[in-house]
Structures are given as C-alpha cells and as structure tokens.
Chains A and B, each alone.
Chain A
Amino acid sequence: MNYKADFHNHSCLSPCAGIEMGPITLVNRAKSLGIKILGLTDHNSARNTPAFEYLAKESGILPLCGVEVTTSEEIHVLCFFPTSGEALDFGNLIEKALPRIPLNHEKMGEQWVVNKDEEILEEVDFYLGTATSYGIDQVEKLCHDLGGLFIPAHIDRPTSSLKSQLGYIPQLNYDGFEIQLSPEGLNTGITPLVKGSDAHHPDMVGQRTCEIDLPQLSWEALVAYFQSFSRV
C-alpha cells in the first residue's frame, strides 16, 4: 500500500522555528493532510522526539524520530531511529559535539523542549543551529551503530548540502537521499529518494511529500523498503 510521507520537519526546538511549531500542531497538520509517515528532524537535537512519538502514534502516523545533523563540513544530514530512545541517545552525542555558543533570543531564536501537552519543559541554552565537530563519515557510523537510517538532506539545494559543500558524493553507506528542488522524475536508479517539507512553520508542513509502498505501516517495513535498493 502507498503511504504519504513527509520526512523533514522542525519543531519549536529548532532556533529557526517558532513556538507555534509544537508537536501537537505538527502532528495535527500532517494528519489533516493524510500524511502517514512523518519525520521530526530538529537541528542537532532530538529532545522533542518523545512528545512527537507519542502524539504521532495516537494519530495513527508512523513517527520517524530523527535529527538533522550539521556535519563539520556543514552538510545537513537526516538521521532517523526506531524510537525516541535511540534518537535521544544519538541526539546527546550530537549535542556534545556542538560548540557552546550561548543562545541569543533576539539574534538566533528560541529552542523550546516541550511535552505531549506542549507544556515547556526546558530551553536548550546553547545554539543548536551551528556545525558539530563530526565529519559526515563519523555521523554515518554513529547513526548506523544505533540502528538508524542515514539520509543526506536536500542534496539538490545550493546551500548546506552534499552538492554545495563537497561537490561530489563520497563513498558512504547511504540509506537514501532527500531531494527538494529536483523534478519528480529524478531517479538515481540505485538509492531511494525521499521528500520532506523542511517545515519551520505550520503552513509549510506537507508542502513536499512522497509516496512509499509498504506491506504495513511500521519502522521495520520502512527499513526493509530502504534495504531493497542496491546502494551507491
């Protein structure tokens, strides 16, 4: 069966997203658009994945608990995990690899951690929007060691992408690539392409989606889907 998927969304934890982008808003908006596979990928942190995971499951949506990691080369990479547990473990490692640049609300934005009722639990007080000290190869290893899916983000974008930062695709174990600008017809033939909204505001959720054919709606079926492609 074909399921509508949106792999790439931010919540109020990302400095570039507002407080209105809570997990309830994200999940409700996705539900109303018929999205059944939904990614939460905040910048360099997974602290909002527990609330997101609970709410998505309640709405019959497969939650993709993820992180959008900024590698030392300033390449954005989406890493997804079976549950918020692994996502939080991964997020902790990623946060530790960030420089401690104090968060400046006026210039950088806000970074709220919330629960499933969208009550504020804490704010991350160092800036999440900058680069970690991990190179892309190290991020791939950390992600796969925790059973994750490793998908470089918006590879066709002129900034913060494999294309803009390296200009070539290094030999790594990619599970897929996220494309943003390319037409639907683009096909690598070997590595699956996915789409995501990169939503920072509620209106942006669902602006870019793709269809994924799975025997049932589960993490295991999704992993099997990615593994059914031969790799680069």
Chain B
Amino acid sequence: MKLSQLEKELELRPLQVYKDEEWESAYTSDLLSDVMGNAPGDSVLVTIQGHKNTVAVATLAGIKAIVLANGAPATADMLQAAALENIAIFSSPKDQFHLSCKIGKILNLP
C-alpha cells in the first residue's frame, strides 16, 4: 500500500512534501530504543516523539513514515532530517491507540 492511501484513510496531515512509498506494516511506541530493536522494516511508526532522534532511529529501522499522534508538534530539525532521509511525517489529532486500531483494520490484522 502507498503512503498516500494511509494519509487518506487515517485523515492525516502531511507536514511536508513526501515521497509516496510503499509500506506493509506498522509499529507503535514512544520509547526509541524499543523502536530501534523491534520495529519492522518498510513500516509506519506511530509515536508522539516529534524530534530528529526519531528520524535517526527510523532510518536505522527502515521506517517509511512517522505519524505524530495526539497533535504532537515536529521540530524544524526533525522535518529537515526527514526530508533528507525520505521519511514522510504526518500529524493527527487522534491518539496512538485510535491510529493503531485503524492501521490494524487497513492491514486486516486478526
């Protein structure tokens, strides 16, 4: 599935222009060491950590997009790093639980 479909179905707000890549799984966590150790590749990360360290960890894990839950703001250097690394940054006023449930439905998780 393309990131643009995720944007549409979850009613996300892209924080900058992004490359419309494919994604196939997702991970939800606010502890970056947990993301680094456990997030699958080609995935979407749901988190409230809106700073550039999240992009660094996403790069290591092969994450394609970061969805900032609860309306968490993104710092300017986060957006800059994400643009360099081709990682999409979205924002949503919904919390991690609601976003994760919706993504679960899109992925037909049992």
Chain A positions near chain B (C-beta within 8 angstroms): 70, 74, 99, 101, 104, 107-108, 130-131, 158-159
Of the listed stretches B12-20, B28-36, B39-47, B92-100, chain A binds B28-36
Q: Which of A74, A104, A159 contacts B31 (CB 8 A)?
A: A74
Q: Which of B32, B37, B53, B59 contacts A99 (CB 8 A)?
A: B37
Q: Is B106 an interface residue (CB 8 A)?
A: no
Chain B positions near chain A (C-beta within 8 angstroms): 31-33, 36-37, 51, 53, 59-60
Q: Given A107-B59, A159-B51, A159-B53, answer yes or no on A101-B37 (Cβ-Cβ < 8 Å).
A: yes
Q: Which residue of A lies closest to B36 (CB)?
A: A130
Q: Given A159-B51, A159-B53, answer yes or no on A108-B60 (Cβ-Cβ < 8 Å).
A: yes
- New contact pairs (17) apart from A101-B37, A108-B60, A131-B31, CB-CB < 8 Å: A70-B33, A74-B31, A74-B32, A74-B33, A99-B33, A99-B37, A101-B36, A104-B60, A107-B59, A107-B60, A130-B33, A130-B36, A130-B37, A131-B33, A158-B51, A159-B51, A159-B53
A-B contact count (CB 8 A): 20
Assembled-state Cα–Cα distance A138/B88 (Å): 38
User: B32 to chain A: which residues have CB within 8 Å?
Assistant: 74
User: B36 to chain A: which residues have CB within 8 Å?
Assistant: 101, 130
The 5 residue pairs across chains A and B that have the minimum distance between CB atoms? A131-B33, A130-B33, A99-B37, A107-B60, A130-B36
Assembled-state Cα–Cα distance A70/B31 (Å): 12
User: A158 to chain B: which residues have CB within 8 Å?
Assistant: 51
Assembled-state Cα–Cα distance A70/B32 (Å): 12
Q: Smallest CB–CB gap between B3 and chain A, Å?
A: 22
Q: Which residue of A lies closest to B37 (CB)?
A: A99
Q: Which residue of B lies closest to A99 (CB)?
A: B37
Assembled-state Cα–Cα distance A70/B34 (Å): 13
Q: Which residue of A lies closest to B32 (CB)?
A: A74
A-B residue pairs in contact (CB < 8 Å), sample of 20: A70-B33, A74-B31, A74-B32, A74-B33, A99-B33, A99-B37, A101-B36, A101-B37, A104-B60, A107-B59, A107-B60, A108-B60, A130-B33, A130-B36, A130-B37, A131-B31, A131-B33, A158-B51, A159-B51, A159-B53
Q: Which residue of A lies closest to B57 (CB)?
A: A130
User: B53 to chain A: which residues have CB within 8 Å?
Assistant: 159
Assembled-state Cα–Cα distance A101/B60 (Å): 11
User: B51 to chain A: which residues have CB within 8 Å?
Assistant: 158-159
User: A108 to chain B: which residues have CB within 8 Å?
Assistant: 60
User: B59 to chain A: which residues have CB within 8 Å?
Assistant: 107
